[in-house]
Structure 1
Amino acid sequence: MQSSWSTACPDWKERLLAGRPLVPSLPLFADEASRALRIFNRLRVPDVIGTPTMAEAAGPWFPPIVEALFGSYDAQIHRRMIKEVFLLVPKKNGKSSYAAAIMVVALIMNRRPEAEFLLIAPTKKIADIAFKQAWGILKLDPELTKLFKPQEHLRKITHRNSGASLEIKAADTDTITGSKSTGILVDETHVFATKPKAADIFVEIRGALAARPDGFMIQITTQSKEPPTGVFKAELATARDIRDGRLQLNRLAVLYELPEELAKDGGWKSEDRWGIVNPNLGRSVDLAYLRDALTTAERDGPHALTLLASQHFNVQIGTSLRDDAWAGAAYWQDAADDSITLDAIVERCDVAVVGIDGGGLDDLLGLSVVGRCRTTRDWLSWSRAWAQDDVLERRKEIVPKLLDLKEEGTLTICEAPTQDIEEVCSIVARLDDAGILAEKYAVGLDPVGVAALVDGLADVGIVGDRLAAVGQGFRLNGAILGAERKLKDGTLWHEGSQLMTWCVGNAKIEQRGSAVLMTKQAAGRAKIDPLIALLNAVQLMSRNPEPKKRSPYETRGIRMV
């Protein structure tokens, strides 16, 4: 992409705070840009009282997006310089209406005979919203009604002259494979993260545009109701890199999200910041509604606040922005230290213990090593997980996340049934060979269903009182409270992996009597096994263990007289 067409917007924070559009200055083709904007402005919003024109309904933030997409089209060589638009904006900012209007503009301005324009969404209901808006827009204009032929039962609109059509397509690879689309609208990308084959769908979407230099794709979405995963996480990260100038692609990224320093610690609740991320405030976004929604959410509790923050203020959900979260989650990110590796624990610690937790074939096997630094006495933790391939079939809703963790290197998808046991035992043996594994109670296990693991540990010499059965449920109360205190006071550190951030974010707390419980049942389908493994290790480290005593002859040999 030519540097003159760079879509980087490094001053996006200043633009947001000043209420200026987030589209940078671009060398647009003026005729194309102005024609597109004229068409867009005359279209009417079908579901608003009085059916105002887009010129009346849309705030000043949206027309620059229209101009950028259509004004990047070089009519001489039939090539579009900006192939993709990624728009992140909170609910009620008119995104579905405006995106549908863009597709109508594309149908009108299109020069390709029999061009195919698609509406793709993770569910039929979401796709229907955009289609209903597009057809509603056309019906409000007598001239356009004559120009287009509807087939509502097929969810398809066809241009009578060019043969170009706009229709809904199912969000799966089979229906998109082989398509040669000219324009594609992807609605609510964040919901795609729940689909196991979402990444493949996006590959097919982009492949469909490969033979269309005049083609484009628009993604329009709010933030996720959960921490971003899978394809949404990847698309969002790419969009941020483009916006910040770290990556140059022929894509325009427009993200209405508060800078982190303004969003954290409940900063998004400040009313003077609402208009920053809600560009249609005072138009389709009602200030009184937001006030009432915040009041209601604060009464209803953390879950309602989390939902409000993510959907109406584009606050990205992290480990602590959720209801019934573990108290330690609030301090988890501040305790990250990427210098912590297994090698670092061996080099820096005088003693180490290992916690292990795992379930059946559709579960994860989690391992956490906790070492005690010989100079600071701080606890350093390092965690890994393994999954049998059964998990990919039985827990399809978390497959995108598991694949993210596999790429990170913190999760292994086993190629053999015993791979997890063998690798766990190898890590334990390494610590023991290094002389830092505790002499007693070195490895802590959930006592249920660990026969194969006990046998494997015995093969590397971990037997007898070097194994400890760590009680679960309310018996982990001390470890839960102890870990959260050490996270807060800065004496428990971890390597900052996505694996553990995910598990900590999944953890749910239950209060039973005077005990705090963290159970797999409470977490539901989300996984917390590596976190439970960490708590098992914390339980052992709380006993102030000592390393295994070694005979001096192991290092200096035997003198013969």
Structure 2
Amino acid sequence: MPLDQIEPAPRFACPDWWEKLQRGETPMADVPVNDDRAARALAFFNRLRLPDVPGNPRLADACGPWFKDILIVFLASEDPETKERLVWELLCAVPKKSSKSTYSAALGITALYMEETPNGQMLLIGPSQNISARCFDQAQAMIELDDDLVQIFHVQDHLKKITRKKTKTVLEVKTFDTGIITGEIPILTIIDEVHELGKKAKAAKVMQQIRGGGITQTGGQLLMITTQSDERPAGIWKSEIAKARRIRDGEAGPKPIMLPVLYEFPIELQKDEMFWRDVKNWHYVLPNLGWSINLDRLEADYVNNGSVDKEKEQIWVSQHLNIEIGIGLKNDRWTGADFWEGAVHGLTFGELLERSEVITAGIDPGGQDDLLSFSLIGRNRDTGAWMHWAKHYADFIVLERRKSIAPELADFEKDGDLLMVHDLEEEAYSDIAKMCAEVRDLGLFPEENGIGIDGAGKAANLAVDALEEEDFDAAKHLQAISQGYRLNNIAATVAVKLKGGSFLHSGQEIMSWCVENTKMYQRANAEYPSKEESGGGKIDGTMSLLDAAELMSWHPKAAPRVDFDGFLAKPVMVV
């Protein structure tokens, strides 16, 4: 095909990013820059000195080339035809100890020096007071090491402000918070450790304020630089890293404004523990190796601290190798989690009804500060495969009592798989009972023992009451499912079926989260899922799944069907 007929790649797409990492290059798209502006920015940046290293070396010699690439493209990108800026946002994910906070402070000073807008405002934001203070201390110390810069900038330590005397434009160091950010109109914003924002319930609102303020300016830019999260990505971090990957892979439209620079292994290699445990492969994602990172010391830290147990290793590799939690490490979680992502069928509630010859249900009752989970498992009438679908509920009070998981819950609510309610009894259990009645009226429940439930606690009584409102005979239709070690067999059965492809699920993110959180407890020869072992991670979806699966393992037959206008006569696709 002639070159003039080849469709150009979307802006900022970098399909060869892994090859670039293997060659030691910065994993980002080629972006045109204004050469004069680039040279000016680099010259100023290079003269800055590291304040916390013996001899205070200049960044010309003490900064990895990767960050200078970021500096140039962020401050000097330019469309060669329109002369307009191209890079309005940049997300860089880089492992811990890569001097990203120090380099970001230096970039902030460089941007302040180059900005000619009078009385403007720039923000250097950290997720906590300690991180914010660290950024300011580095910036202040760099200025104090250079007598010429002391004449150019006015530093106000007590206000955490640095002002360029000529333009009166200010670089302020702040902590990420809704009250502090409200009303700001930044020319440039730098956010350090943006992954921490995934743990803040109102982070999306603050980010919108930052981006909204930048729109009103001729040069409103946003730089986000971070390590990977030490927890499963959630909230704003989950959405930002997903967007960056789509842009990098050319799947985000023709003209994105964010340039992604992601130091990470491909997903398939993040799942390969033999690959990333091999020290010879670490250098691919360590761009500051030889500057701030010593490979021998890093390996010693891994051996002595990072690899002592599965939990510590998971956190260590997320921080030092950018391995995403939930992808790259098998631990003491349920074996079925290893095969969960490969078992998606994508059916909705209605499609599950349509394709099943018999259905069983499971309810894991929840209190006010817990999740209430409802699972259905249908046996495919053509293949015999088990098919799973779930719905979850939570009282609004959980957002206050379980603030650590509030961002995840907000994501699941947006997906439509979690319903936040004000009254579990009136809204959640009533909704579950109505769905059970629909299954029953289609003749898809067994005549007996079609609904499994953890029988412990007052919450089970609420389920009984709601089902009896829909004319269920609790003694006939409900079956208490023994918990603890008695779940050993069904947990193992579902894991085997997941691996073999005879257990399929609807691909709901909330279920993936529950499955990933499910830790196993060892008792004698039995290994079973335990809420206590799983700590703060919710596993309610897994437990309701196992309750339904236990009843399906009894080889039930559906009760006689009722007429319902040819519902099953519609053509169906075999799973």
Aligned-pair identity (%) = 38
The CA deviation at 1:437 is 0.9
Q: After superposition, where does 1:322-471 map in structure 2 within 5 Å? A: 323-338=331-346, 340-414=347-421, 417=424, 418-447=426-455, 448-449=457-458, 450-463=460-473, 464-471=475-482
Paired with 2:47 and 2:306, the residues of 1 have a C-alpha distance of 41
Instruction: State the TM-score, normalizing by the size of structure 1.
Output: 0.93
Q: Which amino acid aligns with 1:17?
A: Q
Aligned to 1:530: 541
Aligned to 1:544: 555
- Structure 1 stretches of 5 or more lacking a match? 556-561
The CA deviation at 1:99 is 0.8
CA contact (8 A) 1:84 1:251 kept: yes
Paired with 1:288 and 1:98, the residues of 2 have a C-alpha distance of 23
Q: After superposition, where does 1:44-55 map in structure 2 within 5 Å? A: 44-55=49-60
The CA deviation at 1:415 is 5.6
Aligned to 1:112: 117
CA contact (8 A) 1:157 1:165 kept: yes
1:478 to 486, 489, 493: 489
Call closer, same or farther: CA 1:360–1:323 in 2, change over 3 Å.
same
Paired with 1:291 and 1:337, the residues of 2 have a C-alpha distance of 41
Partner SS, residue 29 of structure 2: coil
The CA deviation at 1:494 is 1.0
CA contact (8 A) 1:114 1:163 kept: yes
The CA deviation at 1:195 is 0.8
Paired with 1:507 and 1:550, the residues of 2 have a C-alpha distance of 37
Aligned to 1:497: 508
Paired with 2:561 and 2:121, the residues of 1 have a C-alpha distance of 74
Q: After superposition, where does 1:20-39 map in structure 2 within 5 Å? A: 20-39=25-44
Paired with 2:85 and 2:487, the residues of 1 have a C-alpha distance of 59
The CA deviation at 1:410 is 0.9
Q: Deviations over 1:5-47 (max 9, x none)?
A: 9322222122112112233222311111110011111111222
Aligned to 2:256: 249
Call closer, same or farther: CA 1:106–1:319 in 2, change over 3 Å.
closer
The CA deviation at 1:553 is 13
How many residue pairs match? The answer is 552
Q: After superposition, where does 1:184-333 map in structure 2 within 5 Å? A: 184-247=189-252, 248-266=255-273, 267-296=275-304, 299-318=307-326, 321=329, 323-333=331-341
Call closer, same or farther: CA 1:288–1:58 in 2, change over 3 Å.
same
Call closer, same or farther: CA 1:299–1:189 in 2, change over 3 Å.
closer
Paired with 1:273 and 1:218, the residues of 2 have a C-alpha distance of 28
The CA deviation at 1:545 is 1.4
CA contact (8 A) 1:303 1:322 kept: no
2:181 to 172, 176, 184: 176
Aligned to 1:559: none
Q: Which amino acid aligns with 1:489?
A: G
Q: Which amino acid aligns with 1:29?
A: N
Paired with 1:23 and 1:244, the residues of 2 have a C-alpha distance of 11
1:511 to 505, 509, 522: 522
CA contact (8 A) 1:319 1:501 kept: no
Instruction: State the TM-score, normalizing by the size of structure 2.
Output: 0.91
The CA deviation at 1:222 is 0.6
Quick check: 1:12 aligned with 2:22? no
Q: Which amino acid aligns with 2:485?
A: F
Q: Which amino acid aligns with 1:141?
A: D
CA contact (8 A) 1:120 1:168 kept: yes
Aligned to 2:571: none
CA contact (8 A) 2:443 2:562 kept: no
Q: Deviations over 1:167-198 (max 9, x none)?
A: 22231222212111111110111111111101
Q: Which amino acid aligns with 2:129?
A: K
- The answer to which of 317-326 and 81-90 deviates more is 317-326
Paired with 1:274 and 1:552, the residues of 2 have a C-alpha distance of 63
CA contact (8 A) 2:93 2:227 kept: yes
The CA deviation at 1:298 is 6.8
The CA deviation at 1:353 is 0.4
The CA deviation at 1:300 is 0.8
Aligned to 2:163: 158
Paired with 2:177 and 2:238, the residues of 1 have a C-alpha distance of 19
CA contact (8 A) 2:447 2:477 kept: yes
- The answer to which of 254-263 and 415-424 deviates more is 415-424
The CA deviation at 1:265 is 2.1
Quick check: 1:147 aligned with 2:157? no
Paired with 2:500 and 2:400, the residues of 1 have a C-alpha distance of 41
The CA deviation at 1:308 is 2.0
The CA deviation at 1:243 is 1.6
Q: Deviations over 1:348-367 (max 9, x none)?
A: 22211000012212221101
Call closer, same or farther: CA 1:478–1:123 in 2, change over 3 Å.
same
CA contact (8 A) 1:79 1:214 kept: no
Partner SS, residue 219 of structure 1: strand
Q: Which amino acid aligns with 1:458?
A: E
CA contact (8 A) 1:293 1:308 kept: no
Aligned to 2:172: 167
CA contact (8 A) 2:271 2:328 kept: no
Paired with 2:81 and 2:495, the residues of 1 have a C-alpha distance of 63
Paired with 1:491 and 1:191, the residues of 2 have a C-alpha distance of 39
Q: After superposition, where does 1:112-131 map in structure 2 within 5 Å? A: 112-131=117-136
The CA deviation at 1:519 is 2.9
Paired with 2:340 and 2:30, the residues of 1 have a C-alpha distance of 40
The CA deviation at 1:549 is 3.5
Call closer, same or farther: CA 1:552–1:140 in 2, change over 3 Å.
closer
Partner SS, residue 311 of structure 1: helix
The CA deviation at 1:297 is 5.1
Paired with 2:497 and 2:81, the residues of 1 have a C-alpha distance of 65
1:136 to 109, 130, 141: 141
- The answer to which of 442-451 and 148-157 deviates more is 148-157
Q: Deviations over 1:45-97 (max 9, x none)?
A: 22222222112122222222111111126999996432111111001112111
Call closer, same or farther: CA 1:439–1:320 in 2, change over 3 Å.
farther
- Structure 2 stretches of 5 or more lacking a match? 1-7, 567-575
Q: Which amino acid aligns with 2:343?
A: A
Paired with 2:80 and 2:327, the residues of 1 have a C-alpha distance of 48
Paired with 1:321 and 1:180, the residues of 2 have a C-alpha distance of 42
Paired with 1:347 and 1:552, the residues of 2 have a C-alpha distance of 14
Partner SS, residue 402 of structure 1: helix
